[in-house]
């Protein structure tokens, strides 16, 4: 969840080798995408309902619930042949006397040269555990914050594993301890920097479980003017899938999500993308941030709509996305 303030499809396509035409929530037709399998609404719902279930008790760092969430993500990666980047899927770190775990999946690029370059797609899978009790409920399930982003990253990992359409290598990174001050992403960014990783770009997906109002872009990107990423993603998708959100700069959102440690460590385009804009969801760090509040048609549409944008980023012949002067 963005610290401080927010701090905050129509998945009927199931097959195959033929091209599909996808429309954004604003009715704009996007480029056709040849896929083996796009995200399906039922799978998106099933994954999110588990991650945001009472069984996981709010997924607080160091808890039994977040351990169950980590195992769930690991098993999903295994099922779809997404390899661990390290010896295991876990990037472990200490937070005082608590052990945290980032979960990191890896799909190697198909191009002999471009596979040496990496793109990171990430989200945080932890939450705060509990919140102010209401009607006997004190579990802060964290459906929108950020089980929604976590499910999106899992679906893209499945997509790229099935389609084998990435020339660059991709890391699918689910962070622990975001709610403790971006501690998981800080640890992973430093570890990857120390390994000498050639990181091209990074995108963090934060709270994508509810749609924006009609007439607004499907999503917005933080640090809009700090790179040309928004324009490039829109060009790859042949539609305006990400836009500018004035409050993002006003509230300093660029520095308040898991993209920021990668920007600090690598000095590369690293942004967060969200569909929550302060007007469309009332349950930040609230016990009512529940799975039944999510719009699964929107989520599935967002996941599938982003595919051509992400494919363009991982397959461009040169590093087209660059830092710019704000």
Per residue in 248-272, pLDDT tens?
999 999 999 999 999 999 999 999 9
Query: Residue 22: what pLDDT?
Result: 40
Mean pLDDT of 302-318: 98
pLDDT of residue 325: 72
What is the pLDDT averaged over residues 162-172?
Answer: 97
DSSP annotation of 323 reads B
Per-residue pLDDT of 116-163, as tens digits, reads 999 999 999 999 999 999 999 999 999 999 999 999 999 999 999 999
Residue 244 has pLDDT above 70, yes or no: yes
C-alpha–C-alpha distance, residues 12 and 296, integer Å? 12
pTM: 0.90
Q: What structural domains does the chain harbor?
A: 19-315 (3.40.630.10)
State the distance between the two ends of the chain, measured CA to CA, in whole angstroms: 24
**Gap between the Cα atoms of 183 and 186, Å rounded:** 5
- Please give the structure tokens belonging to residue 312: 């363009």
Query: Which of 32-36, 97-101, 242-246 has the least mean pLDDT?
Result: 32-36
Cis check: omega of the bond before 21, within 30 degrees of 0: no
State the average pLDDT for the chain: 91
pLDDT confidence band for 1 (50 / 70 / 90)? low
Write out the H or E segment, with its range, that includes residue 72. helix 64-79
Over residues 4-8, the mean pLDDT reads: 38
- 184: pLDDT confidence band, cut at 50, 70 and 90? very high
Q: Using an 8 Å Cβ cutoff, are 171 and 120 in contact? A: yes
Residues 6+ apart with CB under 8 A from 104: 84, 85, 86, 89, 90, 91, 171, 172, 173, 174, 188
Distance CA 199, CA 214 (A): 35
The pLDDT value recorded for residue 26 is 36
Which of 223, 227, 86, 73 minimizes the C-alpha distance to 146? Answer: 73
Query: What is the rounded distance in angstroms from the CA atom of residue 39 to the CA atom of residue 300?
Result: 6
Does residue 28 register a pLDDT over 90?
no
SS3 198: strand
Buried b (16+ CB within 10 A) or exposed e, 171-200: bbbbbbbbbbebbbbbbbbebbeeeebebb
The pLDDT of residue 326 is 57
Q: Of 35-39, 260-264, 307-311, which gets the smallest average pLDDT? A: 35-39
């Amino acid at each position: 969840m963005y610290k401080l303030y927010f701090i905050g499809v129509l998945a009927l396509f199931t097959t195959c080798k033929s091209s599909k035409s996808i429309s954004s929530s604003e009715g704009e037709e996007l480029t056709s995408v040849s896929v083996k399998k796009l995200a399906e609404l039922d799978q998106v719902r099933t994954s999110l309902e588990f991650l945001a279930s009472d069984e996981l008790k709010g997924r607080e760092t160091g808890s039994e619930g977040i351990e169950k969430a980590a195992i769930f993500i690991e098993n999903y990666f295994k099922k779809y042949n997404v390899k661990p980047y390290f010896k295991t899927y876990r990037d472990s770190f200490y937070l005082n006397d608590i052990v945290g775990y980032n979960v990191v999946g890896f799909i190697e690029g198909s191009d002999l040269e471009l596979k040496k370059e990496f793109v990171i797609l990430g989200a945080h899978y932890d939450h705060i555990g509990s919140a102010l009790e209401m009607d006997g409920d004190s579990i802060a399930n964290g459906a929108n914050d950020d089980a929604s982003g976590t499910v999106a990253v899992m679906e893209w990992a499945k997509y790229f594993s099935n389609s084998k359409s990435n020339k660059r290598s991709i890391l699918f990174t689910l962070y622990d301890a975001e709610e403790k001050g971006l501690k998981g992403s800080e640890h992973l960014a430093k570890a990857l920097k120390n390994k000498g990783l050639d990181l091209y770009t990074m995108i963090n997906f934060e709270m994508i479980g509810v749609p924006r109002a009609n007439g607004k872009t499907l999503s917005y990107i933080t640090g809009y003017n700090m790179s040309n990423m928004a324009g490039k993603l829109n060009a790859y998708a042949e539609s305006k899938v990400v836009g500018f959100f004035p409050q993002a700069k006003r509230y300093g959102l660029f520095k308040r999500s898991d993209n920021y440690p990668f920007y600090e460590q690598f000095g590369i385009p690293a942004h967060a993308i969200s569909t929550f804009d302060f007007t469309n969801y009332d349950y930040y760090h609230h016990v009512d941030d529940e799975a039944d509040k999510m719009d699964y048609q929107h989520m599935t549409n967002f996941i599938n709509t982003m595919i051509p944008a992400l494919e363009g980023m991982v397959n461009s012949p040169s590093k087209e996305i660059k830092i710019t002067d704000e």
